Chains A and B, each alone.
Chain A
Amino acid sequence: MVRADLHRSKGQGVFRANCSTRSWDQEPPQWNLIPLHCMLGGVLRSLAPGRSPTPGLILGLIITLAAVVAYSGYITFQISGLRELQNNLVDRNRKDSLQLLRIQNDLNSLGLAMRDMLDADEPYPLTAWSAQFQRVRADLNDALRLEEKVAVTTRTPEQRQYLTDSVAQFWDAADRTFALARDGKEKEARAQIRLSLQARQAALNTAVARLLVQNNESEEQAALRIRQIYDRVGRQVYLFLGATLIAIVLTSLYLIRSNRHLFAQLAALSEQRSELAQKLISTQESTLRYISRELHDEFGQILTAVGAMLGRAGNHAPEGSPLRAELREVCEIAQTTLDNVRSLSQALHPVMLDESGLESTLDWYIPTVERQAGIDISYEKSGTPFFVDGHAAIHVYRVLQEALNNVTRHSGAREAWVRLQFMPESLQLEVEDHGSGFELQAVKQGIGLVAMRERAELLGGTIEFLKPHSGGSLVRLKIPREKSDTHAE
């Protein structure tokens, strides 16, 4: 069960409340207002939490993350495949083709040189071409060496061997040709060129051309594979995007449904909470009114009777005797106790509200606050007064009490304005100050504003927390006239 300790602040007539779960047998409590949040906390804790969407969302998140990770892995795999294709096949193929073209160029140079040698329109012996052949040979050997390094993996050992053998045979034939030419056997050398060298050069050219074609085919195949990878990745991208879209839609639908459910729960909870709060407030006011009346009527009469009896007993005691003096002292204590009881009764529930009405109670209460809190309060009444019964008046009184409490405790203002307006259709109470305003007060004051709103709702009215042009705060309570007399508890 929730309890509250109420501590009356010295000389200020206001209360601080702390929620606790102390047992009844500790120090005797002074009952007055039970803070609303103490009651609501228990109420909210007692409400069922309902089904949480979090597990579903976490599951969705895990699925999405898993899909992203899986897709990233897939893409990485495809990219590495592409890179491998690029490095091992396309780039290598290109470099190999460049070297093959260089070889082909060298072979063509040799072909042209051999044509010139056979044309015999130069006035030089065939040995003149020796240096030219050596230059081409050096370049050809270099090209062949590089080509072997970058040759594509599809090259068979037979092809490699054929190229190596063919080149060796060509140079062997060339050396024999130049040897013949050096020996002055130009005719035989020319025949050697025609029959052997040119044929070998042509065969080499064909072999190199075939390798180039093969490279070209490999390149086309690689290009095809690359295209396929791109197509596959493209399809996967669309699939992934589609799946992601569906996941997002499903998650969103689930989230919307969950949110609706949550909002509905929240609305129900809020309604229950409000209802409960209002019942608690009503119960609290009934209890306080009962205690106040009991204090006032029962203890007041008893103490009045005790005082009267003590007075009479004192009169029977001899004049100047110690007994008479002690009886007078006890009588004074009884009177003081009676005053305190009446004061406490008034604080718990001003009896005036029931007996003299709201207007008179405020006439008494405002100067009391002014005196106790040390602030100037300008009180204005306007309109044609109408009757406000005790049940409604206590809530108006409590709102005023809370509003002025806020002014004195939180606003820092030294001046306040209270306006009570009897309007044809409603009763309006305004409490205004030019202090720190609601933003700061709300933080400090917390549940008080909530309680005021609940009381306004109990009366079927409205309460506004406004900021005047000159700064500070303005609390405006407005209740319908019909509720001021016939409101329901």
Chain B
Amino acid sequence: MNRRSFLQGLAGLAATSGLGSLKAFSQTPNPGFKLVDVTARAGLQFRHNSGAYGGKLLPETLGAGCAFLDYDRDGWQDILLLNGMDWPGHKRQRSTLRLYRNNRNGRFSDVTRRAGLDIEMYGMGVAVGDYNNDGYPDILITCVGQNRLFKNTGKGTFVDVTKASGLGGRSGFSTSALWFDFDRDGLLDLFICNYVKWSAEHDVFCSLDGKHKSYCTPEAYRGETCWLFHNRGNGTFEDVTATSGIFDSSSKSLGVAMLDYDQDGWPDLLVANDTQPNKLYRNLHNGTFKDVAVDAGIAFSAEGKARAGMGVDVADFDNSGTAGVAITNFDNEMIGLYRPSATGTYADVAAQSGVGLPSKDKLGFGCVFLDADLDGSLDLVSVNGHIDDTVRNVRNIGYAQSPQLFLNNSKGVFRDIASEIGSEFVQPKVGRGLAYGDFDGDGDLDILMTTNNGPAFLFRNDQVAGTRSVRVRLVGKKSNRDAIGASVRIFHGGTSQSRLVKGGSSYLSQSELPVTFGVGKRDRVDRLVIRWPSGPTEEYKDLATGRSYECVEAKGIKTLITF
């Protein structure tokens, strides 16, 4: 560590210990919002089943994801909660994923069976995207075993098209996944992370005491390549893993996020690997990718160590126009918070930004950037929880751990305010999946999280400071229908904010596709600039805030709702 890093680290310590934050937050001692647990009120009666029966099988530690999606295209975000199942030979209950339809009154209805999703599978992650551009979001469920692709019929039901789409016959230990249009042909392609080569039959015996089986770390298993499937446009997919340069049999991937690393308009990918170097796949515009993670300084920690990357998110958290990165890691490894530089490299600023130290004793999984207080600066939420339920016996950290919400003071300093926004959010949980979406249509972002072998939680964001937002839902025409890969930027008062329409991110989960800009108490924004994945740029001026807009590619913009 050089002297500069050390001093920056000290600055970070000061910030986290309250010295820096006192000054930085002296004008806003109140976060300006509350997160209220409305899980029961909303009717989300869900409990994850890891299938744990004492066999200590590796997938039991990883939990399952969740998603906000508008499956019925009514403009209200619905909820999908993934689930595991009992292991063969240890059947005790039937457990399936749950699809909850938004009743538009703060309550949800379980429509799983009606939607045709009442299917048992050892579900892990979810990627929602309209791969066939019919206007209705389809669902890919990653599993231990065979992944499943469910096509949305547009009639409130889903059809399993796994085999028909060419995704069948592929058994693996898949984790996060995302839809993105890597060749910009207007069709969403599919990227799937795989963790390790694992099967129940070949589970490795690991033990802490030499007698009793315990969960293994990923070092005990061989890596597994991620998969990239190219959308042929006829409902089928072509495995281009090998030809695209994605193939890497050493990867142990858990999280994936889409970004435009080199600002060339072509989507790149960032993959968080567990105990292996992270991968930054740069899109070479010819259907191939090149891993530049080492050169970009994001493959390893500052000490040159491959950390246990879990969840990942990418966003313009410093409003510089270029996306930074957050990667959750194992406890004692801290969250990696990477700020981009003009030279295409990243610097881990976790310590000096105030994120490092508070996250040091947490084992983080899902993480998302969102503007929780709608002040115009993206904040960071991470959910935490250990993988070993007996960890307390050997170390002074808990299996259940408090989620964290790092409020961004717009000056590069974050402060964990989880304990200041209501007593429910900060309660320790064995957190895994995390997603955000505005389920109640009030313009702010609510939080959905899953826990391992436990309930899911829905936290409603209640703004108390009178801040406002602008929400934009994009509909692609030449571009993919979901406009995934579109860049949206607003300008107001001499500043700007940018968002990328993206799936994936976090851990095993997917947040809503509409983008949300917090604008504080402004009534209007000067400009809204959209760069569509197909290439064209559109600009809209003098828009009122406190509204949700729908923008159709090359067609114009309209107000959906006012809040």
Residue in chain A with minimal CB distance to B242: A128
Contact pick for B250, options A109, A122, A124, CB 8 Å: A109
Contact with B along A257-299 (1 / 0, CB 8 A): 0000000000000000000000000000000000000000000
Whether B90 sits at the interface, judged by CB under 8 Å, is no
Across the interface, do B248 and A112 meet the contact criterion of CB distance under 8 Å? Answer: no
Whether B247 sits at the interface, judged by CB under 8 Å, is yes
* Bound CA–CA A112/B225 (angstroms): 13
A425 → B minimal CB distance (Å): 87
Size bracket of the B interface: 10 to 19
Which residues of B, 233-247, contact A by the 8 Å Cβ criterion? Answer: 239, 241-243, 245-247
Q: Which residues of A contact B245 (CB under 8 A)?
A: 131
Contact pick for A135, options B239, B241, B243, B291, CB 8 Å: B291
Which residues of A, 101-116, contact B by the 8 Å Cβ criterion? Answer: 109, 112-113, 116
* Bound CA–CA A131/B247 (angstroms): 7
Contact with A along B293-335 (1 / 0, CB 8 A): 0100000000000000000000000000000000000000000
A118 → B minimal CB distance (Å): 12
A193 → B minimal CB distance (Å): 14
Number of interface residues of A (CB under 8 A): 15
Q: Which residues of A contact B73 (CB under 8 A)?
A: none
> With contacts A112-B222, A135-B291 known, is A125 near B242, CB below 8 A?
yes
* Bound CA–CA A128/B223 (angstroms): 15
Q: Which residues of A contact B246 (CB under 8 A)?
A: 131
Q: Which residues of A contact B222 (CB under 8 A)?
A: 112, 116
* Bound CA–CA A122/B171 (angstroms): 11
Across the interface, do A124 and B248 meet the contact criterion of CB distance under 8 Å? Answer: no
Between A and B, how many residue pairs show CB distances below 8 Å? 40
Whether B249 sits at the interface, judged by CB under 8 Å, is yes
* Bound CA–CA A370/B245 (angstroms): 126
A120 → B minimal CB distance (Å): 12
Q: Which residues of A contact B290 (CB under 8 A)?
A: 131
Across the interface, do A135 and B248 meet the contact criterion of CB distance under 8 Å? Answer: yes
Residue in chain B with minimal CB distance to A125: B242
Q: Which of B170, B239, B249, B290 gathers most chain A CB within 10 Å?
A: B249
B210 → A minimal CB distance (Å): 27
Across the interface, do A132 and B239 meet the contact criterion of CB distance under 8 Å? Answer: no
Q: Which residues of B contact A127 (CB under 8 A)?
A: 242
Q: Which of A124, A127, A128, A129 gathers most chain B CB within 10 Å?
A: A128
Residue in chain B with minimal CB distance to A102: B304
Contact with A along B261-290 (1 / 0, CB 8 A): 000000000000000000000000000001
B313 → A minimal CB distance (Å): 25
Q: Which residues of A contact B239 (CB under 8 A)?
A: 123-124
Which residues of A, 51-109, contact B by the 8 Å Cβ criterion? Answer: 109
Across the interface, do A122 and B248 meet the contact criterion of CB distance under 8 Å? Answer: no
* Bound CA–CA A112/B222 (angstroms): 9
Contact pick for A132, options B170, B243, B249, B294, CB 8 Å: B249
Whether A139 sits at the interface, judged by CB under 8 Å, is yes
* Bound CA–CA A125/B249 (angstroms): 13
Q: Which residues of A contact B170 (CB under 8 A)?
A: 123
> With contacts A122-B225, A135-B291, A139-B294 known, is A112 near B242, CB below 8 A?
no
26 pairs of residues in contact across A and B, judged by CB atoms under 8 Å: A109-B250, A112-B249, A112-B250, A113-B249, A113-B250, A116-B222, A116-B249, A123-B170, A123-B239, A124-B225, A124-B239, A124-B242, A124-B247, A125-B242, A128-B225, A128-B243, A129-B249, A131-B245, A131-B248, A131-B291, A132-B247, A132-B248, A132-B249, A132-B250, A135-B248, A135-B291
Residues of B within 8 A of A (CB): 170, 222-223, 225, 239, 241-243, 245-250, 290-291, 294
Which 9 residue pairs are nearest across A and B when measured between Cβ atoms? A128-B242, A131-B245, A124-B242, A128-B247, A116-B249, A132-B248, A135-B291, A113-B249, A109-B250
